[in-house]
Amino acid sequence: MIITKKKDFGDILEYLKGREKVFLFGCNSCAEQCRTGGEREVEEMKRLLGEEGKEVTGSSVVDETCYNMLIKREFKRKEAAASSDAILVLACGAGVRTVAENTDDGTPVLPALDTLFLATVERYGRFFEGCSLCGECVLGETAGVCPHTYCPKGLLNGPCGGMDGGRCEVDLENGCAWIDIYRRLKAQGRLHVLKRISPPKDHSKDLTRPRKVVLDRGVRGGA
């Protein structure tokens, strides 16, 4: 799940300076679970903008704001989306981008949220970063613990010399990711994996932006 947090309302007002008619998009998926962009937050944003004298011309809380076909459909269904002075999107950056893709008439599409990270959901309302989207997953060698995400130094061969009694030297509140990896591999009877030195990653692959995956028809999961 993509984790978002609300932008400061003052910053949003600054974006909207000189623009009085505002259409709102929310997202019924990740942003709804983060309590940043579901029905309730869109209603709250309507109220706040109304108090500032803005006219909210309409709103739409889409199942997934990052899904282009759904946004396209909303633009067809809701004329106000295309005839406002600005569109404010309560969704992650991918959602904002998707809405922006559907406007080429000069209407600014503005983010109401900051996009933070890809999370594991421990339970409703408790989110922890689980993956840093490196594009070359090593979880098979690390017993499901991501060294890029859980080791602040991103070490592929740990632990570092600063590990102290199983705690991470960067933040003693946290356990060392590599001790966790060791314990899990041991429980799996796979400690031999640690004898292999992992080569440095080719981070140039990660620099190719924007990344994309286009599936052939009928092919599942390919890139």
> What residue ranges bind ligand SF4 (CB under 6 A)?
131-134, 137-139, 146, 148-149, 151-153, 155, 158-160, 162-163, 168-170, 176-178
Nearest-approach distance from CB 34 to ligand SF4, in angstroms: 20
Q: What is the DSSP string of 29-57?
A: SHHHHTTSSSHHHHHHHHHHHHHTT-EEE
Cβ distance to ligand SF4 smaller for residue 121 or 160? 160
Tell me which DSSP letter residue 101 carries: H
Question: 36: how many CB neighbours lie within 10 A of its CB?
Answer: 23
Cβ distance to ligand SF4 smaller for residue 85 or 206? 206
H, E, C per residue of 140-168: CCCCCCCHHHHCCCCCCCCCCCCCECCEC
Cβ distance to ligand SF4 smaller for residue 95 or 158? 158
Cβ distance to ligand SF4 smaller for residue 109 or 176? 176
Phi/psi of residue 108, nearest 5 degrees: -70, 135
C-alpha distances out from residue 30 to 45, 47, 75, 132, 213, Å: 18, 22, 21, 17, 21
Nearest-approach distance from CB 155 to ligand SF4, in angstroms: 5
Region of residue 146 (phi > 0: left; psi between -120 and 50: alpha; otherwise: beta): beta
Cβ distance to ligand SF4 smaller for residue 19 or 167? 167
Nearest-approach distance from CB 161 to ligand SF4, in angstroms: 8
Nearest-approach distance from CB 52 to ligand SF4, in angstroms: 41
Nearest-approach distance from CB 222 to ligand SF4, in angstroms: 17
CB 93, CB 114: distance < 8 Å: no
